[in-house]
Amino acid sequence: MDLWSWAVSVYGRPGVAEAALALQDDHGQCVPLLLWAVFARPTQADLIGRAVSLARAWEAAAILPLRVARRGLKAELAGVEAPAREALRARVKAAELESERLLLSALADLDGGGQAPLEAALAAVATAWGGIADPAALDQLSRALSGPLPDPGKTG
């Protein structure tokens, strides 16, 4: 199972999307990077640093501009009929998701070692990313991810 398929499966679990989006919207975290942390369970600071640098580059170049455009298209726009605006918004959303898929594909090449406990991996990556690594918000995501996760197998 590749990292994207794994992430989509995990993201669909009850409470995961809500907790992840709260970390993104309220605390400035990067959801694909957090999902990579759960998948890779990194223990090495240099590996986490490389993952954060990669995610920052992708977020700045593609993910964030597409997210801003998608959210901007949610409201009515003068001179543009709603169906046309919604169709464009759907295409921008698809491009945003594709940019997240490409980021996860790049992150999959970074072997995390799989040794860090879930909570420690999330905290380390969230702290390295910056923003507010709110322990309560991270705990909410950890709780949503409790229990057996899909077996990622080997990616690559």
| Confidence (pLDDT) at 95 | 99
- pLDDT at residue number 132: 66
Residue 156 lies in a domain: no
Residue 152, in any domain of the structure: no
Q: How far apart are CA 102 and CA 40, in angstroms?
A: 17
155 within some domain: no
End-to-end CA distance of the chain: 9
Residue 124 covered by a domain: yes
Q: What's the number of domains the chain is made of?
A: 1
Identify whether 80 is part of a domain: yes
**Which domain range does residue 135 map to?**
3-144
**Separation between Cα atoms, residue 68 and residue 93, nearest integer Å:** 10
Residue 103 counted as domain residue: yes
Could you tell me if residue 27 is inside a domain? Answer: yes
State residue 133's pLDDT score.
63
- pLDDT tens string, the chain, 156 residues long: the values are 899 999 999 999 999 999 999 999 999 999 999 999 999 999 999 999 999 999 999 999 999 999 999 999 999 999 999 999 999 999 999 999 999 999 999 999 997 677 899 999 999 999 999 966 678 999 999 999 988 888 776 444
Looking at the whole model, is its pTM more than 0.75?
Answer: yes
Q: Is residue 153, in this structure, part of any structural domain at all?
A: no
pLDDT of 90 reads 98
